[in-house]
Homo-oligomer: A and B are copies of this chain.
Amino acid sequence: MIPQTNFVPPFNVTRASHIVLTTRDLAASKAFYTGVIGLVVTAEEDGIAYLRGVEESAHHSLVLREAQGEPVCERIGLRVLQDRDLDQAKAYFDAQEIPARFVDVAFQGKTLHVSDPEGVPLELCARMPPQPRLHDQFQLHKGAAALRLDHFQLLVPDVVAASRFYTDLGFRISDYFVDRPEDERPLGIFLYRKSNPHDVVFLTRPGPVMHHFGYIVADVQVMFRALDTAHNIGFSRCLERGPGRHGQGHVLYTYLRDPDGHRVEILPAAIQMGDIEDEPVRWHRGNRHAWELPPPRSWLYEATRFKDVAVREGAMGHGLKSLEDFLESQPRRGFSVETSPVPADKA
C-alpha cells in the first residue's frame, strides 16, 4: 500500500532545507533557539531573524517572523541541487496542473512556491548566500549546539496520498508503521532524499499541520546541556518528551516546545541509508524498540497550523497510546504508601 519511488525523478531535491515560523515575541524565541538549541543568528531585519545550525554553511534553516495572533508555520523549505532543477520543477508542476510560482525571498536564490496534495506549503530553492561553518568554533557553542536541520514531521489525513507526491519526486521510504502486525494501511511514513532515514515524515491525523522539525546534535551529552541550560536561562518547562529512543531504533531524541509552542526535536545523527536494497522497513506494535515511556497527549495531538491552510478532519491513527493512558493502566507493585497516609496537614 505504500507508494513506489520514482528513481528517475523530474528534478533533484536534495534535502530538507528550512522552516519559516511566526512568533509573538521574537526576542524570547531567539533566546530559546540560540541559548537552548544552540543555533546562531545569521541575519536579522524587518522583524525577521534568520538562524542556522553551527555546522551549516546555509544562510538559514530556521526563519522566525514576529507576528501577532496564533503562531503558525508559514512554509517548509526543500533544497534542490541547482537552479536549473527549479525550472524543471516548474515545468513538472505545470504539466501536473499543480499551481507553482516563482517568488522573491530574502537571502535565497530563485525560489519556487508550491503545495503538496495535502496542502503543505513548500518552497524550493538551490541557493543561499554561503556562511562560514562554525562547528569547530567550540568556544561559541551554547546549549545543544545543534549542528544542522534534519527533517520535518507533518500530520495529514492521508499519509499515502501525501507520500506519493514525494516518491514521485524521487523520495524513498525508509520506514513505515502500522498498528497491529496484520494491518495494511500505514499510519506513518518516513521519506528521505539525503542519506539518512528522514527528510519528511507523515503521520495520520487531521491536518495538514506541522508537528515538529528536528535538528541533529553531536551526542547525548549536549541533549542534557540543552535542558540544563534551558532551566538556567528561563525555559524550565520546555521539555515535552524524552530523552528517549525512537521505536524504529535509529536514534535517541528529546522534544522541546519553544516559547510559542512550536515543537523542535534534537537528536544525535541517525543511520546512513540509500543502497538499492534498502527496502522500506515495516514497523508495528510488535517489533518496535520501546523502552521509553509513551508520549504525552500533547505530543500526540498538538501541532502548529500552517498559515492560511484549513485543517481537514481525519483519523487519529489507530493504537495511539498516551503517557496518560499508560500511567493510569500501570499495576501497583510493592508496598504503596498511598494506602495508609495521614493527611499532609496533620504531619
Contact = CB atoms under 8 A, between A and B. Distances in A.
A47 interface: no
Contacts of A142: 139
Contacts of A194: 195, 272, 274
A323 interface: yes
A298 interface: yes
A304 B335 CA distance: 6
Interface string A313-347: 11111100001100110101111111011111011
Nearest to A58: B275
Contact of A261 (B15, B292, B333): B333
B297 A318 contact: no
How many chain copies does the complex carry? 4
Given A139-B35, A315-B341, A336-B302, A228 B245 contact: yes
Dominant SS among interface residues on chain A: loop
A225 interface: yes
A252 B220 CA distance: 12
A335 B82 contact: no
Contacts of A206: 337, 340-341
Given A136-B245, A195-B195, 7 more contacts: A126-B276, A130-B278, A185-B347, A219-B220, A224-B243, A298-B333, A311-B340
For the complex of A and B, list the 5 residue pairs with the smallest distance between their C-beta atoms, beginning with the closest.
A315-B347, A136-B249, A261-B333, A130-B277, A231-B291
